[in-house]
Amino acid sequence: MARPFILVTNDDGYLSPGILALRRALEEVGEPWVLAPDRNWSAASRTRVFHKPLRVSAARLPDGTEVHVTNGSPSDCVLLALLGLAPRRPDLVVAGINLGANVGHDVTYSGTVAAAMEGASAGIPALAVSLDLGPEEGQEGNPDFEGAAALAARVARRALEERRLFTRTLLNINVPRGTPRGIRITRLGGKVWSDDLVQGQDPRGRSYYWFSGEMLTTPPAGEEDTDVWAVLSGYVSITPLHLDLTAYSLLSSLRSWEGTDL
Ligand SMILES: [Mn+2]
């Protein structure tokens, strides 16, 4: 079999240390090809840019690797590649490594997960890879991108071997801080951020609002099967996700609405 062709993107922008480590590690698995945003699109979710033309240009990662960058979103990156910019159809889409965990309800905010969703939606196995940086979301703790990238590469190899499992499904991978205690296959947990709104005044005397909040730091009791618990407990979390958001448990009760005037 030819070397698997792997589309690599992210939502932190092509200069993020996460995508550099990821691309390098994926060379062990196949042929990585990078098309990434030229800026940070974190929390862009599955944004599509329709209101202006997209540009694609050549750029270099800090290690000199030639890549493609665009002013489009993470989802746009995947679609641009699939609609003709990539030299061939990818065997795998890998997004990351995101600076910060993407777990629980918050996955729908994530541009990293959205890029993987775009791959899954096109029927291509896809991985979203994120590294927990803790409540500060900074790089002070010397995050282990190499370790997370090596793990992502091992999952990528396994996903390619078992690609028939991944029909319109993606794997959301979150790597904890420090040395992982093992791997847990998980379901999505709940909210990780407790949102807060800070009001202030700008120098011209007008009010502004700035979202703030706190991240959960202790594993939620009774939710040992969730991604939130796993990452906060020091485990690598792997959650299979799909785009079918239907609440199947409600379908049969709501069907009684059919044929009525409500
Ligand atoms: Mn991000």
- Tell how far the Cα of 165 is from the centroid of ligand 1, in angstroms: 27
> CA dist 116 to 37, 42, 201, 240, Å?
14, 14, 39, 11
Contact at 8 Å (CB) between 11 and 44? yes
What is the reported pLDDT for 137? Answer: 61
- Tell how far the Cα of 2 is from the centroid of ligand 1, in angstroms: 32
- Tell how far the Cα of 57 is from the centroid of ligand 1, in angstroms: 21
- Tell how far the Cα of 136 is from the centroid of ligand 1, in angstroms: 14
pLDDT tens per residue across all 262 residues of the chain: 689 999 999 999 999 999 999 999 999 999 999 999 999 999 999 999 999 999 999 999 999 999 999 999 999 999 999 999 999 999 999 999 999 999 999 999 999 999 999 999 999 999 999 999 987 665 566 899 999 999 999 999 999 999 999 999 999 999 999 999 999 999 999 998 888 999 999 999 999 999 998 888 899 999 999 999 999 999 999 999 999 999 999 999 999 999 999 9
- Tell how far the Cα of 74 is from the centroid of ligand 1, in angstroms: 10
The DSSP secondary-structure symbol of 243 reads: S
- Tell how far the Cα of 260 is from the centroid of ligand 1, in angstroms: 46
- Tell how far the Cα of 220 is from the centroid of ligand 1, in angstroms: 24
pTM higher than 0.85 for the full model? yes
Task: Give CATH for domain 5-188+218-252.
Answer: 3.40.1210.10
- Tell how far the Cα of 246 is from the centroid of ligand 1, in angstroms: 26
Contact at 8 Å (CB) between 128 and 170? yes
What is the reported pLDDT for 106? Answer: 94
What is the reported pLDDT for 88? Answer: 97
How are strands ordered across the β-sheet holding 169-175?
56-60, 66-70, 31-37, 5-9, 92-99, 126-131, 169-175, 236-242, 183-185
What is the reported pLDDT for 139? Answer: 57
- Tell how far the Cα of 127 is from the centroid of ligand 1, in angstroms: 15
What is the reported pLDDT for 2? Answer: 84
Determine how many CB atoms are found less than 10 A away from the CB of residue 143: 23
In this structure, the strands spanning 169-175 and 236-242 are antiparallel
What is the reported pLDDT for 213? Answer: 87
- Tell how far the Cα of 253 is from the centroid of ligand 1, in angstroms: 39
- Tell how far the Cα of 113 is from the centroid of ligand 1, in angstroms: 10
Contact at 8 Å (CB) between 192 and 105? yes
Residue (of 103, 58, 90, 54) closest to 74 by Cα position: 54
- Tell how far the Cα of 248 is from the centroid of ligand 1, in angstroms: 31
- Tell how far the Cα of 96 is from the centroid of ligand 1, in angstroms: 8
What is the reported pLDDT for 245? Answer: 95
What is the reported pLDDT for 159? Answer: 97
Q: Would you call 247 helix, strand, or coil by DSSP?
A: coil
Residue (of 116, 158, 128) closest to 243 by Cα position: 116
Determine how many CB atoms are found less than 10 A away from the CB of residue 158: 13
CA atoms of 118 and 97, how far apart (whole Å)? 17
